[in-house]
Amino acid sequence: MEHDNYVLEMKNIGKLYSGNRVLKDVTLRLRPGEIHAVLGENGAGKSTLMNILFGMPVIHTTGGHEGEILIDGKVVAIDSPFESMKLGIGMVHQEFMLIPGFTITENIKINREITRPNIASRIFGPALKSLDMEAMDSDARKALDTIGLNIEEWTKIAGMPVGYMQFVEIAREIDKADMKIIVFDEPTAVLTESEADALLKAMKVIADSGIAILFITHRLDEVMTIADNITVLRDGELVRTLAKTETNAFQLAELMVGRKVEKIVQDSSSMTKSEIAVSIRGLKVLMPGENVRQVDLDVFAGEIIGIGGLGGQGKIGIANGIMGLYPAAGQVSIFGKPLALSDTKAAYEAGLAFVSEDRRGVGLLLDSSIEINIAFTAMQMRNSFLHRLGPFSQLAYGKIRKHALKKIADLDIRCTGPMQLTRRLSGGNQQKVCIARALALDPKILFVSEPTRGIDVGAKKIVLETLVKLNRELGMTIIMTSSELAELRSICQRIAIICGGRVEGILSPDASDVDFGLMMAGDYHKFRGKEVV
């Protein structure tokens, strides 16, 4: 039987979250010493697969998973992270799980300390045993040497460069005895190029010692550098498992992205380049997790432009920065007039409006009614929906009600009435309320972030059609940020792909899957550039 060759087999793994299928029939096999890359966009099912492997509570509290997991050919039931650790599965986290005030040794050995008995421990129990620092230091040294990190083991974590912390995480995993499989979850995301190179080398060393590595990433060049085999996931399904030798970056990019595109707008080419509505130069936005480093982009009046890219690359930060919700720097002008950044009021006065990606946190007053939500921003920024008498004002409930009823009908908001609290609405209807609130401002330019995240198919269609209608009938310029490439391609005339906080390139919605894939991975210029040379 082939079984004996695999250290890990995940067979026909499937997972449903309250009726939503996020993983379907995924099979993954790993030999000792193999580096196996798992490639996919956000939401492709990579993290769910890893959560299953680690027995994370989120899997078991939602009804477990389908399929079986075999370690060394034996079926195992991994029902807690502790169990997975016992089976020899280790993880290098994307966010560092280190204690800043502790030394490297202490971090590596935490909860696995080497101890000696003493008088107190004999009386009061093993919790009081002395630490054998020498033995621990030498173990830590060995682990650090293995991965080639030349730093003293007694250095404290606090103040260390990020790259080193990553290595300490790895050292901790390989120091564990019986480690069979280590999962690297996008380990190079926060590293500089030279650090990333060193990390890849270290991974090779670890693999050569017989430990199997699962490498989760979306960087194609890294995959092509070190992976032996590659599994591509898309929309929770296994697209294909390939050996590196039989594929190339272009094919991987295509496999990662490719899907049917249903076009709502047919005549994207007919767009004539008109006046520039928004001109962005050197935009930097400090938004944790979505930093924008240097974005230059022109948006033409009357177009729907898409901003796409993978999560964490900064696409979300652009709209948030321009609207003044996060500290931003750079030059932005609206129809030629410079816009003050970090000033939300100024943004509204310039004719902008924003539908946030964080619907429940930023987009809605959850404990207020639909009608108040819709009217609120226009009331505050434009003094609409108010009876005014000198410095005093009172809400014009009649106007608010009338307007809300019209929007409820226009956008097909399913509710018990304009008085219903937005907390009780479904995601799709909440999104429609958010859009109605932005529209109450009569914006010239509308920023929409992740408009269809977490909403059902029917609502999705209405939301997208509404955007197209606004663009067509009112000539509204729409800047739509979305992680769903297919949706951008269905309504946008141009799509800017953001990678590493910069515009990697601008594509027409009809461009090939390969180009989209390469751009999203940030490898477009690397590979396309090479071809030209």
Contact with other proteins (CB under 8 A) among 296, 383, 398, 442: 383
Q: How far is the CB of 370 from other proteins (least distance, A)?
A: 14
Q: How far is the CB of 345 from other proteins (least distance, A)?
A: 4
Instruction: Using the minimum distance from each CB to other proteins, give the nearer residue, 265 or 400.
Output: 400
- Residue ranges of alpha helices (H) inside 214-248 are 220-226
Q: How far is the CB of 387 from other proteins (least distance, A)?
A: 10
Applying CB under 8 A, the span of 95-103, 129-137, 291-299, 372-380 interacting with other proteins comes to 372-380
CA 407 to chain centre: 32
CA distance 240 to 27: 10
Q: Which of residues 57-76 bind other proteins (CB under 8 A)?
A: none
Instruction: Using the minimum distance from each CB to other proteins, give the nearer residue, 197 or 349.
Output: 349
Contact with other proteins (CB under 8 A) among 121, 291, 380, 508: 380
Contact with other proteins (CB under 8 A) among 16, 365, 474, 511: 365
Q: How far is the CB of 363 from other proteins (least distance, A)?
A: 7
CA distance 267 to 444: 22
The reply on whether position 289 binds other proteins by CB under 8 A is no
CA distance 446 to 125: 66
Instruction: Using the minimum distance from each CB to other proteins, give the nearer residue, 359 or 489.
Output: 359
Applying CB under 8 A, the span of 62-70, 177-185, 199-207, 374-382 interacting with other proteins comes to 374-382
**# residues contacting other proteins (CB under 8 A):** 30
Q: Which of residues 389-428 bind other proteins (CB under 8 A)?
A: 392-395
Applying CB under 8 A, the span of 26-34, 110-118, 265-273, 386-394 interacting with other proteins comes to 386-394
Applying CB under 8 A, the span of 47-55, 145-153, 363-371, 496-504 interacting with other proteins comes to 363-371
Site string for other proteins, 321-340 (x = CB under 8 A): --xxx---------------
The reply on whether position 372 binds other proteins by CB under 8 A is yes
CA distance 186 to 215: 7
Q: How far is the CB of 349 from other proteins (least distance, A)?
A: 9
Beta strands in 46-166 (DSSP E): 66-71, 74-76, 89-92, 115-116, 130-131
Tokens representing residue 93 in the block: 């986290």
Contact with other proteins (CB under 8 A) among 105, 107, 166, 377: 377
The amino acid that residue 96 corresponds to is F
Beta strand pairing call for 8-17 and 20-30: antiparallel
Contact with other proteins (CB under 8 A) among 81, 128, 376, 525: 376
* Exposure string over 335-359, b if 16+ CB within 10 A, otherwise e: beeebebbeeeebbebbbbbbbbeb
CA distances from 270 to 265, 274, 356, 512 (A): 11, 12, 30, 19
Beta strand pairing call for 477-481 and 445-449: parallel
Applying CB under 8 A, the span of 9-17, 63-71, 110-118, 368-376 interacting with other proteins comes to 368-376
CA distance 332 to 352: 12
CB-CB contact of 177 with 146 (8 Å): no
The reply on whether position 342 binds other proteins by CB under 8 A is no
Q: How far is the CB of 376 from other proteins (least distance, A)?
A: 6
Tokens representing residue 168 in the block: 């300490």
Contact with other proteins (CB under 8 A) among 6, 167, 354, 447: 354
The reply on whether position 367 binds other proteins by CB under 8 A is yes
The reply on whether position 12 binds other proteins by CB under 8 A is no
CA distance 43 to 482: 12
Instruction: Using the minimum distance from each CB to other proteins, give the nearer residue, 215 or 354.
Output: 354
Contact with other proteins (CB under 8 A) among 118, 130, 331, 368: 368
CA distance 259 to 266: 18
Tokens representing residue 494 in the block: 């141009």
Q: How far is the CB of 453 from other proteins (least distance, A)?
A: 17
Instruction: Using the minimum distance from each CB to other proteins, give the nearer residue, 95 or 367.
Output: 367
Residue count (the chain): 533
Q: How far is the CB of 533 from other proteins (least distance, A)?
A: 46
Instruction: Using the minimum distance from each CB to other proteins, give the nearer residue, 250 or 348.
Output: 348
CA 221 to chain centre: 20
Instruction: Using the minimum distance from each CB to other proteins, give the nearer residue, 268 or 344.
Output: 344
Rg of the chain over CA atoms, in angstroms?
A: 27
CA distance 396 to 84: 60
Contact with other proteins (CB under 8 A) among 345, 424, 469, 472: 345
Q: Which of residues 417-476 bind other proteins (CB under 8 A)?
A: none
- Of residues 444, 460, 478, 357, the one with CA closest to residue 412: 460
Return the bridge partners of 212, or none: 181
H-helix or E-strand containing 446? Answer: strand 445-449
- Of residues 321, 261, 257, 271, the one with CA closest to residue 299: 271
Contact with other proteins (CB under 8 A) among 366, 405, 506, 511: 366
CA distances from 367 to 257, 332, 373, 416, 425 (A): 39, 35, 10, 15, 11
DSSP code for 300: E
The residues that touch other proteins, with contacts defined as CB under 8 A, are 323-325, 344-345, 347-348, 354, 356, 358, 361-368, 372, 376-377, 379-381, 383, 386, 392-395
